[in-house]
Amino acid sequence: MKLFLLSALGLTVQGCTNILVTPEASTSNEAMIAYNADSASLYGSLYHYPRTEGGGSRDIYDWDSGSFLGSIPEAEKTHNVVGNCNEVGLCIGETTFGGLEGLCATFPGSKVDYGSLIWLTLQRASNAREAIKVMDNLMQTYGYASEGESFSITDAKEVWINEVIGKGTYEKGSVWVAKKIPAGYVSSHANQARITTFEWDDENKAMYAHDVMSFAQKIGLVTSAGADRSTFSFSDTYDPVTFEGARFCEGRVWSFFSSVMGPDFEKEYVDYASGFNLTNRMPLFVKPADKISLTDVFSHMRNHFEDSELAFDADVGAGGFGAPYRWRPLTWEYGDDTYVNERAIGTQQTGWNFVASVRPSMPTPLQAVIWFGADDSATTVRVPFYASSTELPLSFVGKGPQDGVVPPMMTFDTNSAFYVTNLVSNWAYSRWSDIYPVVLARIEKYEASFIAQLHEVDQKVLALFNNGQEVEAVNVMNTFAQKLGNGFTEQWFGFFGELFVRFRDGYDITANSEDPECGCTVGGQGYNDATYKRIAEETGEQYKEPSDSLKVRSFQPKNKLKVRGV
């Protein structure tokens, strides 16, 4: 049977990026996963699910559409969940790969979509391996109601990728493979299934659905003669790489891997990342040349292919200020040809993003910290929240479609972290090379301050936990969250005001108390040399002054006037 491939970049599918770092690969021995939730319809807010007891019934709503999928029994006890981390040090992210179209249709009566799968699992599981089993049980019991997904799953010790695809209308449930990232290695995925072959007989390295290969045989994806465990590839079977899968998706993985591996890796796989050699697949994980810090991960999530063969900040599409952004759609046509816009990690349609840090040196309730940011991961500030917090700042917290709630996307609010960060990012897009360096410096200043403040609060909370004062410790976490989150939102709105005053009307206007006219210095260099060169070459004589222009302009009237508005 012919099953067509569904692109993960379709209009109905979110495009996201994940980075995974094992504790042994980090400078501070903490496990980390980073996640950009990329969709123009996503409102950036921090979800919170308090602990519950007593079971009952749980209504399930599709995360993307908000449609009601049905009800399932609630667990007798659930964990407190803040964002994508729970209070016992488990964190989960995802990217959608879509997969074969015939398997993306939902089996009738399926109740668990990929978003609900994340938060149900965070409420029920305590570590990465248990999470994989809980996810499997939920999907096979209640049916899987989404397209193909790659899940990043970490606890304090282990980091896993779990790739899942439904069984379409053939039967209820899903097939899946999970691979553990080896100690000292890092990985990434970005809307393309990446697990190929795997270890069938070593649960310390891989776990999988019992019918992951037999189901492929059943529906004709694998012949009986080709059913060989040693060569069976999950990705090649259920989500084969296409030009779009390589260029738009694997290209982001390549940009991260190249950053931590160096120019040899970049050169070896650029033909694959560009979409022109689909057999030259990258490894699932790599061992970085140097260990990676928390702030390194922040930086990697701002990547725009800078200084690589896929850089797109210097052609005409970048405008006069070298913006590494292209407005959607990803493909466009001119004449009889189709062209692409590059798809970088840092992108304008991100609704929210996080870097989750799980610290094995801390007691379990203090291990997971989610560094949460709204909007574009290249222009946001990530604010730390303990996953054991029970009260979150109003400027960050919210509910979404998975809660049966329509978020306030169409209501502008300067008390919303989402809209305040959008103000700064969209202003930066307008004159990127002028404004973004100022924004980045402020981002790094805030994040360095937040790291120091978190360390101070760690000591206070740790002392309370060690003294058996759990309630008091949680109160300190809550106060920290409220102060930092709401304080940031107010201050970042003020920062937008600074940027607007300084970079208005094409100028760079700075304070100057010695200037008697405006108390300022009006500067600005116009466009860069590359832009002026392009204008001159593309327009020929249109804007060129005649050679005698200086003689004409040397004449001055007797009563010299001060010319304004030049």
Q: What is the pLDDT of residues 54-80, one digit of tens each?
A: 999 999 999 999 999 999 999 999 999
d(CA 357, CA 345): 19
Q: What is the pLDDT of residue 6?
A: 59
pLDDT-derived band at 10 (thresholds 50, 70, 90) equals very low
Q: Is 379 helix (H, G, I), strand (E, B) or coil?
A: coil
Among candidate residues 235, 37, 241, 252, the one with its CA nearest the CA of residue 148: 235
Mean pLDDT, to the nearest integer, of 26-53? 96
Residue 556: pLDDT over 60:
no
Distance, CA of 318 to chain centre: 22
d(CA 362, CA 477): 15
d(CA 292, CA 22): 10
Percentage with pLDDT > 70 across the chain: 94
Distance, CA of 96 to chain centre: 12
Structural Rg of the chain based on CA atoms: 26
Q: What is the pLDDT of residue 4?
A: 52
d(CA 516, CA 387): 53
pLDDT averaged over the chain? 93
d(CA 513, CA 258): 47
Q: Is 141 helix (H, G, I), strand (E, B) or coil?
A: helix
Residue 210: pLDDT over 90:
yes
Among candidate residues 187, 159, 162, the one with its CA nearest the CA of residue 30: 159
The burial of 381, by beta-carbon neighbours within 10 Å (0-12 exposed, 13-18 middle, 19 or more buried), is given as: buried
pLDDT in tens, 517-555: 889 999 988 998 888 998 999 999 999 998 765 555 544
Residue 490: pLDDT over 80:
yes
